[in-house]
Structure 1
Amino acid sequence: MIQVYTQPQCPQCRMTKQILINKQIPFVEINIRENSQAKETLIKKGYRATPVVITDFIGEWAGFRPDCLNQIKPQHQLAR
């Protein structure tokens, strides 16, 4: 599963989501402005910026990271 923590008006969040959409990779978007518990969880993990991407198969990271996004393949979704 891929979770993408975002906030409105974040260009890096939009670009991250667009890459996943273009690759036809399903993901769950969590808007931290609407979900204060999710925001607190990210802060406790040490994240201070969005997007934060969490995957079951290649780890997690913050910021717009095309290098990491390009490692995600559609078959990763089948391995769940």
Structure 2
Amino acid sequence: MIVYSAPGCSQCRLTIRWLDDHGREYEKRDAAQHREDLLALGHTSAPVVVLDTGESFSGFRPDRLAQIGANETAPSGPPPQSVEDMTPAARIQLQQQISPRSQTAGLESEQNATLNAAEESTREAVV
């Protein structure tokens, strides 16, 4: 599994902490360095979790993380470096996900901005 994250991203930190706390294996990558690949998957905000099956989702989703079985955490070889490296079945699955994801991408961005603003105001209130 690959986790694309960004500096200062609270949802990224929560996702990585959840995976660490639950003993899940993953490879962490910088979302900014793989922006084109993430856009091809239909994701515009971090974190993005890409399973070995090719399925992907964004945001801190403990419900989705908990559904990941042991067979999805054990790497079956090197993870794909880009969409072109994925198996045909994984590409088809991703293409099916991209269509509905592109309609909600703007909403996800707004939600992330709201969460970041809330985190910042909470930090300021504590100080």
Q: CA RMSD in A?
A: 1.9
Q: State the distance in 1 between where 2:74 and 2:44 align.
A: 31
AA paired with 1:39? R
Q: 1 or 2 for the larger relative contact order (CA 8 Å, sep ≥6)?
A: 1
Q: Which has more helix, going by share of residues?
A: 2
Q: Which has the larger radius of gyration?
A: 2
Deviation beyond 6 Å, 4+ runs, structure 1? none
Quote the residue 2:23 is aligned against: 24
Count, aligned residues? 76
Which consecutive residues of structure 2, in runs of 5 or more, have no partner in the other structure? Answer: 77-127
CA deviations on 1:22-78 (whole Å, 9 max, x unpaired) are: 011110001123x2xx11111222211100000024821011111101112335334
Q: TM-score, normalised by structure 2?
A: 0.53
Q: TM-score, normalised by structure 1?
A: 0.81
Q: Which has more strand, going by share of residues?
A: 1
Identity of aligned residues (%): 32
